C-alpha cells in the first residue's frame, strides 16, 4: 500500500472522478461546504466501504491509508470553488466516471474472491463497489438513485465484474481478468452514453 | 447449508415474498428493470445483511450460497413481467409477507444469540431481520418507511423475537422457540391486517 | 462495562439527548409510536454503530449492554408523551446536544485509535460518531441531513476529534485528550448556536 503502484494511482483517479460527481450534486442541491465534502467522500469511497463491510475486510483500506481520504477532500474543494467550470465539463466527467466504474467493478470482484467469496457473489460485490457510492450520494441528497431511472450503468458494471471473476476463478492471470472485465464494462458504458441506450421499464399501467 | 432442509426452504420462501413486495414498489415508482431487481434484492435480503453486519457474521450467508441471490432475482423478474396480476393479488401477498416476517424475526433472534448476544439485543436483531429489508426498500424508493406510518408491523416482530429469544435463553428446544415466537408474530400481524389495528400516534399539536 | 463509571454515565446522557432530538423529528413528521422509538434509537446509537461496523468492533457495545438500549427507548417514550413541552425547551435541548456531540467525537476518535486506526482516519471516525446518528435520523425521516444545510455542526466535531486523536497519538493522558478535544468542540458549537455562524456555501449559479 505504501508504494505508488499503477493500481493505486488508477484507484485514486477513480475515487477523484466519483468524488467530483458527488460534489457537483451537492452544489446543485445548495448544500454547504461540509455537505459538499461529505457527498464527495461518500461517492468516492462509499462503494468500497460497503463491499469491505460485507466481505469482512474491515477496517476499509481507505481508513488505513491517508491518501484515500485526501483525494475526495481535494475533489470536494476543487468542485466547491470551480463548480461552474466543472459543470460545463460534465460530458468529460461522464467519460472519466466510466473509467472509474470499469476499474472499481473489476477490483471489487477480485478483492471479494480473495476474501473467500465465490464468483457469483463476487461479481455482485464488484457491481456494488462500482455503483454503491453513487447510490449513497443520491440517498443523502434526497433523491431516488439515478441508476434506477433508466440509465444503463449497473449492468455494464455487473457484466465486467462477472467476466473478471470468471477468469480469476479459473486461475487466469490478474491482468487478463482486469483487462477483459474492465474493457467490457468501459465499452458498454461509453456506448450507452453515446447512443443513449436505456434500461427496460415495466410495461402496462402500474397498479395503484 | 448445502442440503435442502425445511428451514432453508422456508427462508427462501420468505425472501421470495419480501422481494416481490420490493419489486412492486419499484414498478409503481416507475424504476427500470435494474431498479426493480435491486429493490427486490434489498427487500428480500436487506434485513439479514444488516443483522449479519451488526453481529459480525460477515460475509452474510446470502453471499456464500448462490440460491439466496437467485431467489430475489427470480422474484424481481416475475414482478417485472406480471406486476398487474401481482398487484391485484396484494391481499394474498400481505398474508405471505406476514409468514416471512414471523419466520425472519424468530430465526434472526436465534442466530444473534448463537453469535453471543444476550436475549434483549437478540430480540432487537430479530425485529431488525424482519423489518430491515422493507425499511431499506422505502429509503431507496424515496419515501419514509411505511412501518413508521401507523401500520402495526414491527411490534409483532419484536414480540415474536422476544418470545423465541427467551425460550432459547432457558435452553428450551429450538422448535418450541421458533413455533411459539413465530405463531405469536403471525397471529398478531394477521389480526392487525384483518382488523386494521394501527399503532398509536403522539397526541396534541406537533410544535414546529 | 458493568460498573457505573463516570464515562458510561456521560455516554448514556449523550445518547439520551440525541435520542430526544430524533424522537422530536419523528413526532413532527407524524410518525407512529414505533417510528418515534426507531428514530430515537437511530439518532442516539447510529453514530456509534456506524463507527463500530467500520472499525470492526462488532457487535457494537450497545448490543452487549442492555442499558444502551433502554436509554433511547426511555427518551422516545418521554418525547412521545411530553413532546409539546420538549419542543418548547428546544434551545436547552440544543445545548445538551452540543455536550453529546463533544463527548461522542472525542470517545469515537480514541476508540478508533485503540482499534488500530491512525490519527487522521480516527478523527474522521470521531466526527462520524458525533454526526452519524443525526444523519441516519434525517434519511429515515425523508429529508436531506440538516447538517448539510449551513449549520455549523460537523466542523467542531471534526476539530475536537482531531485534537483528541493528536494528543492520544503522542501518548498524552486520556483525560487531557478528552478534555482538550471536548472543550474545543463544545465551545465552537455553542458559539455557532449563539452567534448563528453558518458554513460557507458555493458561490455563483449552480449549473443545471
Touching subunits of C (3+ CB pairs, under 8 Å) are: A, B
Q: What ipTM does the predicted assembly reach?
A: 0.82
Q: Cα separation of A144 and A135, whole Å?
A: 8
Q: Do A35 and C147 touch (CB under 8 A)?
A: yes
CB atoms within 10 A of CB A130: 34
Q: Cα separation of B115 and B112, whole Å?
A: 5
Predicted confidence (pLDDT) per residue in B87-123, tens digit: 888 788 888 889 999 999 999 999 999 999 999 999 9
Place B8 in a pLDDT band, splitting at 50, 70 and 90.
confident
- Residue A99 in contact with partner chain C when CB distance is under 8 A: no
CB atoms within 10 A of CB A88: 11
pLDDT of residue A208: 45
- Residue A59 in contact with partner chain B when CB distance is under 8 A: no
| Angle (CA) C27 C30 C34, round 5° | 70
In A104-143, the residues whose Cβ lies within 8 Å of chain C are: 139-142
- CA nearest neighbour of B201 among C82, C44, C35: C35
Chain C, nearest residue to B203 by Cα:
C81
- Residue A173 in contact with partner chain B when CB distance is under 8 A: no
Residue A86 vs residues A76, A82, C195, C202, C205: alpha-carbon distances, Å:
12, 6, 34, 13, 12
Predicted confidence (pLDDT) per residue in A136-170, tens digit: 999 999 888 988 888 889 999 999 999 999 999 99
pLDDT in tens, chain C (208 residues): 344 577 778 788 889 999 999 999 999 888 999 999 999 999 999 999 999 999 988 888 888 887 888 999 999 999 999 988 888 887 888 888 899 899 999 999 999 999 999 999 999 999 999 999 999 999 999 888 988 887 889 999 999 999 999 999 999 998 899 999 999 999 999 999 888 888 888 876 555 4
Q: Cα separation of A61 and A111, whole Å?
A: 11
pLDDT of residue B205: 59
pLDDT of residue B63: 85
Instruction: Kindly state the cell numbers that stand for B35.
Output: 431498479
Residues of A in contact with C125 (CB under 8 A): 63
Give me the residue from A32, A53, A140 closest to C53, CB to CB.
A53
* Mean pLDDT within A118-133: 94
CB atoms within 10 A of CB A180: 17
pLDDT of residue B95: 87
**pLDDT above 90 coverage of chain A, percent:** 57
pLDDT of residue C65: 80
CB distance B164 to B142 below 8 Å: no
Q: Do C124 and A63 touch (CB under 8 A)?
A: yes
- Over 70: is that where the pLDDT of A113 sits? yes
Q: Cα separation of A134 and A45, whole Å?
A: 10
Q: What Rg value do the Cα atoms of chain B yield, rounded?
A: 17
Q: Do A201 and B59 touch (CB under 8 A)?
A: no
Between chain A and chain C, how many beta carbons pairs sit less than 8 Å apart?
A: 95
CB atoms within 10 A of CB A9: 10
pLDDT of residue C206: 55
Ramachandran assignment for C199, one of left (phi > 0), alpha (psi -120 to 50 degrees), beta (any other)? beta
Tell me the nearest-neighbour CA distance from C203 into chain A, angstroms. 8
Place B1 in a pLDDT band, splitting at 50, 70 and 90.
very low
**Global pTM value:** 0.86
Q: Cα separation of B76 and B123, whole Å?
A: 30
DSSP state for residue B201 in the 8-state scheme? B
Secondary structure (H, E, C), C60-118 = CHHHHCHHHHHHHHHHHHHHHHHHHHHHHCHHHHHHHHHHHHHHHHHHHHHHHHHCCCC
Instruction: Kindly state the cell numbers that stand for A163.
Output: 467476466
Tell me the nearest-neighbour CA distance from C170 into chain B, angstroms. 32
pLDDT of residue B113: 93
- Residue B152 in contact with partner chain A when CB distance is under 8 A: no
Q: Cα separation of C138 and C148, whole Å?
A: 11
Residues 6+ apart with CB under 8 A from C114: none
Predicted confidence (pLDDT) per residue in A46-70, tens digit: 999 999 999 988 888 888 887 888 9
Q: Do C117 and A80 touch (CB under 8 A)?
A: no
Residue C8 vs residues A69, C5, C15, C63: alpha-carbon distances, Å:
31, 5, 10, 15
Q: Cα separation of C135 and C145, whole Å?
A: 5
Give me the residue from B125, B149, B208 closest to C31, CB to CB.
B149
Residues 6+ apart with CB under 8 A from B57: B51, B111, B115
Tell me the nearest-neighbour CA distance from B64 into chain A, angstroms. 6
DSSP state for residue B203 in the 8-state scheme? -
Residue C98 dihedral angles phi and psi, to the nearest 5°: -65, -35
Q: Cα separation of C35 and B146, whole Å?
A: 9
Say if residue C92 is preceded by a cis peptide, omega within 30 of 0: no
- Over 80: is that where the pLDDT of A8 sits? no
Alpha helices by DSSP H, chain B: 6-28, 33-54, 61-64, 66-88, 90-114, 119-140, 154-169, 174-194
pLDDT of residue A1: 39
Residues of B in contact with C63 (CB under 8 A): 54-55, 117, 121, 124-125
pLDDT of residue A67: 82
Tell whether the torsion through CA atoms of B72, A59, A134 and B129 is positive or negative. positive
* Mean pLDDT within B52-58: 88
Residues of B in contact with A155 (CB under 8 A): 34
Q: Which of B125-129, B200-204, C149-153 has the largest mean confidence?
A: B125-129
Q: Average model confidence (pLDDT) for chain B?
A: 88
Residues of A in contact with B49 (CB under 8 A): 54
pLDDT of residue A143: 87
pLDDT of residue C3: 43
Amino acid at each position: 500500500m505504501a508504494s505508488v503502484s499503477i493500481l493505486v494511482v488508477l484507484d485514486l483517479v477513480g475515487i477523484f472522478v466519483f468524488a467530483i460527481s458527488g460534489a457537483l450534486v451537492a452544489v446543485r442541491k445548495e448544500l454547504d461546504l461540509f455537505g459538499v465534502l461529505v457527498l464527495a467522500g461518500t461517492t468516492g469511497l462509499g462503494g468500497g466501504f460497503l463491499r469491505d463491510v460485507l466481505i469482512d475486510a474491515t477496517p476499509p483500506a481507505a481508513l488505513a491509508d491517508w491518501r484515500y481520504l485526501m483525494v475526495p477532500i481535494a475533489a470536494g474543494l476543487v468542485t466547491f470553488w470551480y463548480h461552474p467550470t466543472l459543470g460545463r465539463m460534465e460530458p468529460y466527467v461522464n467519460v472519466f466516471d466510466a473509467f472509474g466504474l470499469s476499474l472499481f467493478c473489476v477490483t471489487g470482484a477480485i478483492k471479494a474472491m480473495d476474501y473467500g467469496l465465490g464468483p457469483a457473489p463476487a461479481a455482485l460485490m464488484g457491481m456494488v463497489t462500482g455503483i454503491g457510492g453513487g447510490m449513497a450520494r443520491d440517498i443523502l441528497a434526497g433523491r431516488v438513485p439515478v441508476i434506477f431511472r433508466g440509465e444503463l450503468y449497473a449492468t455494464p458494471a455487473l457484466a465486467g465484474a462477472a467476466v473478471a471473476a470468471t477468469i480469476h476463478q479459473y486461475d487466469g492471470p490478474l491482468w487478463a481478468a482486469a483487462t477483459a472485465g474492465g474493457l467490457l464494462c468501459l465499452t458498454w458504458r461509453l456506448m450507452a452514453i453515446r447512443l443513449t441506450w436505456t434500461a427496460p421499464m415495466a410495461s402496462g399501467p402500474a397498479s395503484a
